[in-house]
Amino acid sequence: MSLPIKDILDHLHINDINHAFSTGTQWGSSDNAVTKDIVSPTDGKKIAAVKFATADEYNTVVETAKKAFKTWRQIPAPKRGEIVRQIGDSLRENKKQLGTLVSYEMGKSLQEGYGEVQEMIDICDFAVGLSRQLYGLTMHSERPEHRMYEQYHPLGIVGVISAFNFPVAVWSWNAMLAWVCGDVCIWKPSEKTPLTAIACQHIAQEVFKRNNIDEGVSCLVIGDRNIGELMSNDTRVPLVSATGSTRMGKAVSAAVGARLGKSLLELGGNNAIIITENADLDMSLIGAVFGAVGTAGQRCTSTRRLIIHESVYEAFKQKLISAYGQIKIGDPLNENNHMGPLIDQDAVSLYLDSIEKCKAEGGKFVVEGGKLEGEAYSSGCYVKPCIAEVENHYKIVQHETFAPILYLIKYADLDEAIELQNGVPQGLSSAIMTNNLREAERFLSYAGSDCGIANVNIGTSGAEIGGAFGGEKETGGGRESGSDAWKVYMRRQTNTINYSKTLPLAQGIKFDL
């Protein structure tokens, strides 16, 4: 590690946490606020303590954001984009420090921490261009001397509930697009990784302050699920974007839907790679291993299942076993290590329980798992990545386990493989490894993958900013980041202008007075 953690915390203003919320330059918390220690899964050491916001403090933030929206929406979109551009520049300047903190607080490898900050920079660049492209459409009216068109207006307050595994990137996917669309944001980060959120709030707010932007455009509320429930039930928040488990997403969807609000849900994945008899096995190996062990299997896009053609099954299994024997596990700030810890000891317990459930259903482990012991793993959060031969219908295989457990499934023909790929409740990311054009096109057709993301000759993990990110079924149906994902942050309005001297009615209806 090139910089001591203390220097990084000081640089990012994480040296003395006495606040539970921020509306911008204003930070605050009650004297009797609940305090939580934030402990790094890397070494088990306390990084800092944070305070949780109360319901009254949440209400203060919402009212401030509500007021700020009235002025922020009046700033021309390209001017809002210019502010986002400056935020991107500030993230570039702080990439090393923020990326290191992401790695240390969450446990992902240092390169992945840097990569997450780079995603933030990339979405800023995308949003800057978008600020001049918030297009509507012009339609021909059936009435003479009439013009019809549609335009988009900002919604208001966007609530962002983010998860621990991407503690800053997913917020930026939402916030940068929402800001150029004219919305204001209230961010409730995961209670497991709030320090990186505090750092981002400082970075963004310095830019807003330089540009003389009112309080309330960028807000932060630290808390547990109670804050998420308040936000989900709050009619003052027209859109809630929530990333996390399917269980959490269903609760958010029910609460927001009950008040006829809008929700953007990015939930669980149970992602598979189909490896055909026509696949490049060496290339497939890289995609499979990185997808399975990257971020210690704690990505929504992590590879959970490998569906392998029977003709190459044994050969590829041996390649996997050999590759797993070379994986280096340890301190994620050491760039020589491939895999860091799970987020906490509760995650370790779930991992171990899933292994036992797999064995009870008949799973055969060809690479054994388990918890790692010793001084290098003193935090108690390090585990072994493991591989099991299973059947797709096993209950544990149908469930998303946020850990480095990879399931191997054998298939005979492509239609069977696609059916296996689709035969889980989740529908986020999928991939096929093949050099056969017909196999690739079949996988991408209406009769192929039912996921929101379908790749050919790359793995399930990772996403580029330019494309819309999200999935179907129990993944929630939301779309974030690229393409036309910006439309969810705005309300659509159809306009008709009559520039004639009469008032003809649609469909030729006569109404003479």
- Cβ(333)–Cβ(114) below 8 Å: no
The two tokens of residue 498 are 């009559």
Distance between start and end Cα atoms, the chain: 82
- Cβ(470)–Cβ(482) below 8 Å: no
Determine the Cα–Cα distance for residues 364 and 224; give it in Å rounded to an integer: 38
- Cβ(337)–Cβ(291) below 8 Å: no
Helix (H) or strand (E) holding 160: strand 157-161
Determine the Cα–Cα distance for residues 413 and 278; give it in Å rounded to an integer: 12
Nearest to 408 by CA among 301, 295, 309, 322: 309
The catalytic position among 57, 116, 215, 266 is: 266
Determine the Cα–Cα distance for residues 14 and 50; give it in Å rounded to an integer: 10
- Cβ(427)–Cβ(473) below 8 Å: yes
Give bridge partners of residue 395 from the DSSP assignment.
none
Determine the Cα–Cα distance for residues 165 and 69; give it in Å rounded to an integer: 30
Q: What DSSP letter does each residue of 86-125 carry, written as one string?
A: HHHHHHHHTHHHHHHHHHHHH---HHHHHHHHHHHHHHHH
- Count other Cβ atoms within 10 Å, centred on residue 468: 17
Question: What residue ranges in 215-269 does DSSP mark as E strands?
Answer: 218-221, 239-243, 262-266
Question: Is 266 part of the annotated catalytic residue set?
Answer: yes
| Helix 110-130 with 95-106: angle, nearest 10 deg | 130
Give bridge partners of residue 305 from the DSSP assignment.
272, 407
Determine the Cα–Cα distance for residues 56 and 53; give it in Å rounded to an integer: 8
Question: What residue ranges in 252-376 does DSSP mark as E strands?
Answer: 262-266, 271-275, 303-309, 364-367, 370-371
Across the beta sheet with 218-221, what order do the strands follow? 27-28, 21-22, 218-221, 184-188, 157-161, 239-243, 262-266
Helix (H) or strand (E) holding 498: strand 490-498
Residue tagged 């954001």 (tokens): 65
Determine the Cα–Cα distance for residues 341 and 377; give it in Å rounded to an integer: 8
Determine the Cα–Cα distance for residues 116 and 167; give it in Å rounded to an integer: 9
Would you say how long the chain is, in residues? Answer: 513
- Please identify every residue annotated as catalytic: 266
